[in-house]
Amino acid sequence: MDSSTINERTAKWMWKAMRDQEILISQAKEGASEWYSKLLANVAGADGTFSPPERHWIIGNRAAFGASEKLLTELEKYEPSADELEQLLSDKYKQYIPLVNRITIYESFQAASADGELHAAERKAITKVAAKLGVEESIVKQIEEIHDEEVKLKKRRHALLFADGGIKKALDMAMNL
């Protein structure tokens, strides 16, 4: 089985498990996926720093959902700029985002807080994106609350399931079998 087959299977699983959808990014035009990825990067970098954890989250998210290798490679080097967010919000691809505007806001919270903190400038950028995409402030607040609850739940889950380091120990043992 080649890597493209594995990547497609992974993406199909992610779309179904995380979004209850049976579609792939690869079915969309490359420009739309690039636009969306750069939008997330510009929100995450709105505090003046596009940190390695934020970049890693965006690249991992895009890879998991089926983005092209070309786009992933471009994102490894991409540097957002203060002016670009405004440009992205007036770009031709913004027309498809109202269809997925809430997930855009949700993933903006995830990307921007991947370094462990949601900075005020990042929250401001999310609010700006939400307004441009027609997401009401009350919905943004609910999305942020869900995001915050999930962060807490993830910490709780990790503390309970991986408290003794069992997974790492098991993998180390399996590598030496």
All structural domains of the chain: 3-136 (1.10.3680.10)
DSSP annotation of 113: T
Per-residue pLDDT, averaged over 49-78, amounts to 94
Asked if residue 92 has pLDDT above 80, the reply is: no
Contacts of 50 (CB under 8 A, 6+ apart): 41, 44, 79, 80
What is the pTM for the complete model shown? 0.84
pLDDT tens digits, 135-174 = 999 999 999 999 999 999 999 988 888 877 777 777 777 7
Q: What is the mean pLDDT of the chain?
A: 85
* 93 close to 36: Cβ distance less than 8 angstroms: yes
* 65 close to 103: Cβ distance less than 8 angstroms: no
Return the higher-pLDDT residue of 18 and 84.
84
Counting DSSP H helices and E strands in the chain, the numbers are 9, 0
The per-residue pLDDT for 2 is 62
User: Residue 122: CA atoms inside 13 Å, Cβ hemisphere, count?
Assistant: 28
The per-residue pLDDT for 67 is 86
Asked if residue 40 has pLDDT above 90, the reply is: yes
Q: How far apart are CA 119 and CA 140, in angstroms?
A: 16
Q: Report the residue count for the chain.
A: 177
Per the listing, tokens 């889950």 go with: 157
Asked if residue 68 has pLDDT above 80, the reply is: yes
CB neighbours of residue 150 within 10 Å: 14
pLDDT tens digits, 101-140 = 999 999 999 999 999 999 999 999 999 999 988 999 999 9
